[in-house]
Amino acid sequence: MLNNVMLIGRLTHDPQLKILEDGKKVLDIQMAVQRSFKNMDGIYETDFITVTLWQGLAENLNEYCEKGSLIVLRGRLQVRHVKYDDKDYRTLEVIGERVNFLGSKKEATVSQEEDFS
């Protein structure tokens, strides 16, 4: 059996680490992931995917990344059971298990400016 998700994209906002009552650290991020094909209008569409990170992984991303940072994320899909208005719902979420930092939007801008001089 295999449950594996790999995403390459940019953070849509600055990370904000949360510490739960039991002391566990959690970070919910949103990644903008561009599709690899163009739509009927010739435009690459973008998917916005929410990912949950826990403990040390959450701390590292919170410390070293910011809005616009480019990351590679490997994780898994997980079904979460939620009760709302006395009804049971199931939602599918991405749980991050490994992150590689590829660079920030600032670094890409600086590199591009240096190439033109």
User: How does pLDDT run across 10-50, given as a tens digit for each residue?
Assistant: 999 999 999 999 999 999 999 999 999 999 999 999 999 99
Residue 74 has pLDDT above 60, yes or no: yes
Residue 113 has pLDDT above 80, yes or no: no
pLDDT grade, residue 82 (50/70/90)?
confident
* pLDDT, the chain, mean: 88
Per-residue pLDDT, 111: 38
Average pLDDT over every residue of 63-85:
93
What are the structural domains of the chain?
Answer: 5-116 (2.40.50.140)
Residue 115 has pLDDT above 60, yes or no: no
Q: State phi, psi for 81 to the nearest 5 degrees.
A: -95, 125
Q: Please state, in angstroms and as integers, the Cα–Cα distance from residue 99 to each residue in 34, 39, 75, 86, following that order.
A: 18, 29, 9, 37
3-class DSSP state of 114: helix
pLDDT grade, residue 103 (50/70/90)?
confident
- Across 56-92, b (16+ Cβ under 10 Å) vs e yields ebbeebbeebeebbbbebebeeeeeeeeeeeeeeeee
The percentage of residues in the chain with a pLDDT greater than 90, rounded to a whole number, is: 76
CA pair distance 16, 29, nearest whole angstrom: 8
